[in-house]
Every structure is written in structure tokens, then in C-alpha cells.
Amino acid sequence: MQNILNKKGFICDMDGVIYHGSRILDGVADFVNWMIDNDKKFVFLTNSPERTPHELSMKLERMGLSVSPDHFYTSAMATAEFLHSQAPGCTAYVIGEAALSKALYDQGIYMNDVDPDYVVIGETRTYGFEKIEKAIALVNKGAKLIGANPDTIGVTEKGIMPATGSLIAPIEIATGKKAYFVGKPNPLMVRHGLRKLGCHSDDVAFIGDRMDTDIIAGIESNVDTILVLTGVTKKEDINLFPYRPKYILNSVSDIVRNK
């Protein structure tokens, strides 16, 4: 535990680590306040491309936790940075919420539904046949297919909902083209988080609740991993995977309770 306390920075997943839906988890406020009081650098990393950092900050504010927007990094932002690094000034046809389009605009990537360089997919509630049809036609014309994250489902206040991986599957099947997914477990997300913190990988711990996205992304980014059991992974599930987190905690509150 002392090794965790000595870390200079923390990268934290959100859903299942910080909150469930619209309910903040017990002990999270103590953990966040401990990081602030001890000058720890931290960033909240989320595979969801649906909200901007400002919107995520407001969400936590409504739960009683004050965290400024600069502490958030989303798969929408990672996707935009990736496309900018690959093809500066490129264009995209986007199926997703406004936060994804804004992240692309912020990187100088503009919307194009005629001959875009990329078709970019993220979670959205405005998914429909016409958009799928358009995306298929554009990919068949040569546009590259990009997913903000590979998640097939997400847990919301209403229950299980389809996520990007499910939304992009019909386009992959119809075109025979496989998408490139930017979000976790792609280590790009964690490396972006490290750059945002300005810390070396040895000085950072990554906290997540999923073995198949969070922990593998941390391992492949060479950072110490902390699995918390407040999300989708139960202790008995860990042995189902051929890799292990460095630490297993009941929740983030264990970090400050045992200091």
C-alpha cells in the first residue's frame, strides 16, 4: 500500500470506480480530497465519448464532488488526437453525440458527408438506418472506419445499453472492413493520460474496475494497475484472465483508509 501512496499521479476510470450512474461511491470524496491535499496529479479517463470534460465536471458537481474540467480525458478526445496525428486537417463523417464532434473540431477535423477521410463512430441515441447506410457507402468509397471505443455494451441508469462496438458492427459486416478502436484497452488512452499528467509511467498508478479494458491497458502501458471491486469485476473473475493487476482493492477508499 505504501508504494501506492508514494505515487506522484493517478489515472482513474470513472464508471464503477468513481460512481455508478448518478450515485457517487462511498469513500470517493475522501480519495479525491486526499489527492488534492497531497498535490497528487490525477486524471479521470473514460471510454465514453458522449460528454465533454466540462459536462463530466458538472456531473460530479451534482454528486457533491468538485473536480475541474482539466482533470478529465475522454475517448472522444483521444480519437480526435489520434486522427490529427495521422492526418492533420482531415475530414470525418461522424455518428455520435455532440461531444465527439466538438473534440474533432478542436483538433481541426471538420465534418464531411460526401468524401470524408474517416467514418467515426461513438455512442449515440440518434442511431438509425439512414446513418448506417451512409456510413457503409462512405467506407466502401475508401473512408477509414474508426471507433471511439470497442465496448459492446454500457451500463446506464436504464440498464444495459449498446455501446460503440455494437453500433459499429453492422458497418464492419456490410463492408468487410474492420474498425480501428482508439479507447481502452488500446494503450493510447493511458499514454495520453500520462502525457496529460506529465509523469513517467513508474510514478503513476492506473485504477480501473474492468480486467478486459482497464487492467490490460495499464499493463500494456507499463504502469502499476489497481483493480477495484466496486464495478463489473468480482474477485473470483480475476483468475479467468491470463494476467493480473498489481493490486486488488475493495474500493478507492482503501487507499486512504490504510495510509
Task: For residue 255, give the H/E element and its range.
Answer: helix 253-257
Q: Give the 3-state secondary structure of residue 40.
A: coil
Catalytic residue among 13, 151, 224, 254: 13
Q: Give dist(CA 54, CA 70) in Å, integer.
A: 8
Distance, CA of 20 to chain centre: 15
- 5 Cβ contact partners less than 8 Å away, ≥ 6 residues apart: 255, 259
Q: Is residue 13 annotated as part of the catalytic site, yes or no?
A: yes
The grid cell for 2 is 505504501
Catalytic residue among 15, 151, 214, 254: 15
Q: Read off the C-alpha cell for 219.
A: 499493463
Number of Cβ atoms within 10 Å of the Cβ of 153? 12
Nearest by Cα to 188 from 212, 218, 208, 211? 218
Task: Kindly list the catalytic residues.
Answer: 13, 15
